[in-house]
């Protein structure tokens, strides 16, 4: 079975670990969000791709869900001694090596997709990890600071400001001009099932869908497209998805997110047990819906969710 998964960071990575356990023989292609990539200290950092790679490759810091295990912070503390910022982004020494290799390869002319493949040669994530695009896309968030409206990089909004101010708009800068990375459209066209993990519908999956051609390819693939709600009981399971949902005029409910994707894209939708009341609302929107436990407390829980998603896909197909 060929499965294509659109993934953001922590939620996507943990779901993928469950999916690998649930479908060990599946051929999984992950289309990773690169809209939250950022240049720090002259280095290209791809937080979502790395979170997927480290999580599936056994190098993730399990506690925090991102970054490397057994991490140290000598480089960061030295950069601070030089007065070189930003200091709000937590790059560890082990993590720095990844960004150094990536930046060196990009500088040598390799596209991000080739670089990601090279990095994965070490990590052996057990999936094919593709960036959504080799072109630069950078998610900016419009906010108001001291009465003045300005746009900040998504990471600045998310990590530095911890989404503490309202977002007026979320703009994937460069997405309109971006092309899907080599293999992305081919993987979608060849997929048997397409899954949207409980990743952020705006800044993760929404950004991937903003690359011209990807949304269309998914809609036209003619295979079940099943998503899992990142909203449980009217609040995001993790992160601050409600802030960016508000910016695009979508309520923070499992139903509203399903409607946001829409029946033109989504065939099936899993909501958590506490949102069982959403099932008829979602089905009314033309999307098959089921309520199951959606808390990824461990790999087994994530695997159970993946099995439910695949089962719903088969229901839709039939």
CA atoms 170, 174, 238, 7: torsion sign: positive
* CB closer to a copy of itself, 59 vs 268: 59
Q: How many residues bind a copy of itself (CB under 8 A)?
A: 28
Here the tokens at position 251 are 């309520």
Q: In sequence order, what DSSP letters do the residues of 42-79 get, joined into one string?
A: TEEE-HHHHHHHHHHHT-B-TTTSSSBTT---HHHHHH
Give, as ranges, the residues between 250 and 289 that touch a copy of itself (CB under 8 A): none
Task: Name the 3-class secondary structure at 162.
Answer: coil
Q: Which spans in the chain are helix H?
A: 10-22, 47-57, 74-81, 93-107, 112-123, 154-155, 184-190, 205-209, 214-219, 241-247, 254-261, 278-284, 299-317
* CB closer to a copy of itself, 14 vs 94: 94
Alpha-carbon Rg for the chain in angstroms: 19
The 3-state DSSP composition of the chain as helix, strand, coil percent (nearest 5) reads: 40, 20, 40
Here the tokens at position 64 are 């925090």
Considering the rule CB under 8 A, would residue 89 count as an interface residue with a copy of itself?
Answer: no
Measured from the CB of residue 228, what is the shortest distance to a copy of itself in angstroms?
33
Give, as ranges, the residues between 54 and 73 that touch a copy of itself (CB under 8 A): 72
The answer to whether 242 is a known ligand-binding residue is: no
Among 119, 181, 223, 313, the residue binding a copy of itself under the rule CB under 8 A is 119
Give, as ranges, the residues between 93 and 112 that touch a copy of itself (CB under 8 A): 93-94, 96-98, 100-101, 103-104, 107
* CB closer to a copy of itself, 68 vs 288: 68
Measured from the CB of residue 160, what is the shortest distance to a copy of itself in angstroms?
19
* CB closer to a copy of itself, 101 vs 316: 101
Among 1, 58, 78, 166, the residue binding a copy of itself under the rule CB under 8 A is 78
Give, as ranges, the residues between 26 and 45 that touch a copy of itself (CB under 8 A): 41-43
Among 82, 147, 148, 297, the residue binding a copy of itself under the rule CB under 8 A is 82
> Distance between CA atoms of 196 and 74, rounded to whole angstroms?
37
> Distance between CA atoms of 112 and 103, rounded to whole angstroms?
9
Q: Indicate the annotated binding residues.
A: 50
Binding site for a copy of itself (CB under 8 A): 41-43, 72, 74-76, 78-79, 81-84, 92-94, 96-98, 100-101, 103-104, 107, 118-119, 121-122
């Amino acid at each position: 079975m060929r499965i294509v998964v659109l993934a953001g960071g922590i939620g996507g990575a943990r779901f993928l670990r469950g999916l690998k356990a649930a479908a060990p023989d599946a051929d999984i292609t992950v289309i990773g969000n690169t809209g939250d990539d950022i240049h720090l200290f002259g280095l290209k950092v791809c937080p979502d791709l790395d979170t997927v790679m480290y999580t599936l490759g056994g190098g993730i810091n399990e506690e925090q869900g991102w970054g490397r295990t057994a991490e140290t912070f000598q480089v960061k503390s030295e950069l601070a001694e030089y007065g070189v910022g930003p200091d709000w982004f937590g790059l560890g020494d082990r993590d720095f090596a990844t960004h150094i290799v990536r930046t060196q390869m990009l500088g040598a002319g390799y596209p991000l997709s080739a670089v990601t493949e090279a990095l994965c040669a070490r990590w052996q994530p057990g999936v094919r990890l593709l960036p959504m695009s080799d072109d630069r896309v950078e998610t900016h968030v419009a906010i108001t600071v001291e009465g003045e409206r300005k746009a900040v990089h998504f990471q600045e909004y998310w990590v530095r400001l911890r989404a503490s101010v309202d977002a007026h708009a979320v703009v994937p800068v460069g997405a309109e001009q971006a092309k899907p990375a080599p293999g992305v459209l081919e993987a979608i066209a060849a997929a048997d099932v397409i899954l949207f993990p409980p990743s952020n519908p705006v800044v993760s999956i929404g950004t991937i869908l903003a690359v011209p051609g990807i949304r269309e390819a998914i809609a036209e693939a003619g295979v079940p497209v099943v998503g899992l709600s990142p909203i449980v009981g009217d609040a995001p399971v993790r992160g601050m998805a409600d802030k960016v949902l508000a910016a695009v005029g979508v309520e923070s409910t499992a139903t509203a997110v399903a409607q946001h994707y829409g029946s033109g894209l989504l065939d099936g939708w899993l909501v958590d047990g506490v949102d069982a009341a959403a099932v008829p609302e979602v089905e009314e929107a033309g999307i098959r819906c089921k309520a199951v436990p959606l808390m990824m407390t461990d790999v087994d829980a994530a695997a159970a969710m993946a099995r439910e998603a695949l089962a719903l896909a088969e229901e839709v197909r039939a």
